[in-house]
Chains A and B, each alone.
Chain A
Amino acid sequence: MLKKLALAGVVSLMGTTAWSACAFENTTEIKSLSAGFEAWKAVTDAMAECGNVQAELDQEFRTKQPAAFEANPSLYHIGGVSNGTITPLLNAGTIRPLDDLVAKYGSHLKPNQLIKIDGKVMAVAMMVNTQHLMVREDVLSEMGIPVPTTWDEVYAAAAKIKDAGKMDTPLGATMKSGWNLAQEFVNMYPGFGGALFNDDNTAAVNNDKGVKALETLKAGMQYMDPEVLVSDSTYVQQQFQQGKIAMANLWASRAGAMDDEAESQVVGKVKMVAAPMAMAGGAPATTLWWDGIVIAKNISDEEADAAFRVAMEGLDKEMVMANNDAAIWLVDGFVPGATAEGAIATATASPAAPAYPSTTRMGLMHTALGNEIPAFMTGERDAAATLAAIEEAYTTSAKEAGVLK
């Protein structure tokens, strides 16, 4: 009991020191809405140290954000976005250019962090994220398998592990039908050098690169859990932690969880390497993502001023030093640890993996992919028919959305 009390004392003391960690005392009411993963928790906690900050961390933020920012005055001052979810805000013009504020308060920001659209800073990035390969180093070296660099090698390694009876399902994948499965195609198809669209916004997936991408995705299924079509990032992370799989192309933001002693049985055994290539000499078959902050347009300049200052406090060196392994930070002060190796290798590969495009048509394409690919994975439809169905679904929704005439 005494120990507990003492601990509580220490915690509250830490609270007070943390309070003074903010360089200024914020007197304006500031609200933020962002996703709810670990890195956002670290950032919003650091922002809260300035006082008068209400942070909402909500996995449904992408549904709420566009409408909330369109209100006048905007319901939130700070928004947490990624290159996928910034699109509706950019389109509706509900976020403000940040050049003045960056000049005033952002001298410590690296030029790499400034997301520029037509020369104007529209967002400040804090971290990069990407799907890259995680492997059980101990299993691979025990069986004398070199770390795979292409998908063919990944499957060959999986076959070896499975045949040796080491694991029934050596491979994990985020193939939950819908967004996740679509993302797998968005990773794989450019890996074969494919482009998703023609210049006139029509879809361009129905070709032999599309067939190859689909068939490569399906070829892995024999090494995966039969229920892979319901498996999302959390499920794959748990499969890793419980030692059920040896390899998976998983989000970098999940890397820290592998070494979490409270959850993981494979602490220190999972190695992060670059995302596998779809074809030799190509780019890693993945897309690069960033997460960062935007400031609403429909608020007063004073509020924007305060909001940006608070956000900068959230994205400072102290926050990164305290949460070094929570993300692949772009913020000054980040020391890449072992868990960051895979993401950095992926992001700096040459040729580099493309960034996930922030366009209206991409949202429509992503939905079409997510709805049509499952029928291919379950074997109801062949690759060519699936690709035709994807193009058709995209065309229908693009016409409804006004992207296609």
Chain B
Amino acid sequence: MKFRTFAAFVGPSVLMMVFFIALPLVSVFLESFKVTQPVMQQVEVETCTPGFLTQTCTTELKTIPVIGADGKVETTTQWQGLQSYRSVLQMDKVWAAIGSSEIGSILQIDFWKALRFTLMYTLLTLPLVIGVGLIIALTVNNATRALRGPIIFVSLLPFIITPVIGSLAIYWLFVGDGILTAMMERWSGTNISMFAQAWTVELLMYFYRVWHVAPFAFVIFYAGLQTVNMDTLESAVIDGASRWQRLRHVIVPHLMPLIVFIALIHLMDCYRVFEEIVGFRSQAHVISLQWLTFDFLVPDDAGNRAISRASASAMLTMVGIVFLLIWPLRRTWRDHRGGAH
């Protein structure tokens, strides 16, 4: 292809990527080393607010921002080095906890608590998603032609549902006397509260994520199964290979690039787990890294948001994703190079 044609095709998307991915990333990176604050002053203010019949007036020393000549709040911006990262990571406490060998107390710190869950969640759902996706794909592939359409349709449904709606649906099914909790209570005869302790909440989250993402793996695997070399399969049958041996030695090696691809996408997506936390209202028990960033960013009633710490937390999340992706990326890279020769 001529370079001009190539550039004309690729140019727009490169431009978009620069604008919508690279520049925001640079800005967040810089923001994580800065702090922007309003200039505050202490003023004595009399505030009169209503009771039911009469007003109560209180005079107190309030800290309020200075309004500049242009009618806007005056702010100052300072470089503060790694301060935001220190506030998020709280390494001094981590070292203290390791020093006194109370490793558990590390998990009291928001960031480490979130990291523990995010990592465990990502790594545990990965094999489940791949496994369940493969099972559905094999089932559909072996089903009679007439049944395939309906099965594909039904198994794709969870993937189509918007994540927030999906997690809310599961929350409503199980919270309080939700339909499914009520059913489980009738079966077991005991009172079940799925959202009262951390492990049941986490269990529901694992269930939700596998339910939601397995159809994606299924679609990819199903497409891959259509290209399995029939000659190899037939010769395996003639050689007396059992169903399991055919799966293990013919089908799975054939699907390996797809498995790596799904692992790649899943690691990236799952490390940004967020909807489950909001949908399940699990903040008391379980939080994730992405939720932590969100929590820093949401303004409180007084309008404060912790932009610097949110930036630091976002950068740390990105570093985490990069670490997780090193293995599958290296593998794909090797495969590609291998393919070229």
Contacts and interface: CB of A to CB of B under 8 A. Distances in A.
B24 interface: no
Greatest chain A CB density within 10 A among B176, B198, B285 is at: B176
Nearest to B109: A389
Interface pairs A-B: 9 shortest CB-CB: A363-B302, A88-B303, A402-B37, A226-B196, A374-B284, A363-B300, A177-B284, A226-B193, A347-B52
A181 B299 CA distance: 17
B45 A400 contact: no
A210 to B, nearest CB: 18
Interface in A351-380: 352, 355, 357-364, 366-367, 371, 374-375, 377-378, 380
B52 A348 contact: yes
Nearest to B195: A227
A378 B40 contact: no
Interface residues on B, range: 35 or more
Given A366-B301, A403-B63, A288 B306 contact: no
A320 B37 CA distance: 43
B186 interface: no
Interface in A108-124: 111-119
Interface of B: 35, 37-40, 45-58, 60-65, 67, 71-73, 84, 87, 108, 110, 175-176, 191, 193-198, 280-285, 295, 298-304, 306, 308-309
A256 interface: no
A366 B304 CA distance: 11
A401 B306 CA distance: 7
A330 B52 CA distance: 7
A207 B60 CA distance: 22
A125 B53 CA distance: 13
A357 B63 CA distance: 12
Contacts of A117: 45-48
A400 B306 contact: yes
Nearest to B309: A400
A364 B300 CA distance: 7
Given A88-B299, A168-B191, A227-B196, A118 B49 contact: no
Contacts of A367: 300, 304
Contacts of B191: 168
B280 to A, nearest CB: 8
Contact of B302 (A88, A113, A380): A88
Contacts of A343: 52
A352 B51 contact: yes
B193 A91 contact: no
28 contacts: A62-B299, A84-B301, A85-B301, A93-B67, A112-B54, A115-B48, A117-B47, A128-B50, A201-B63, A227-B176, A229-B195, A230-B195, A230-B281, A328-B52, A344-B52, A348-B52, A355-B49, A355-B58, A358-B302, A360-B62, A360-B63, A362-B302, A364-B304, A375-B108, A377-B284, A397-B306, A397-B309, A402-B37
B175 A400 contact: no
B108 A91 contact: no
Contact of A361 (B48, B63, B175, B281): B63
B308 A360 contact: no
Contacts of B298: 63
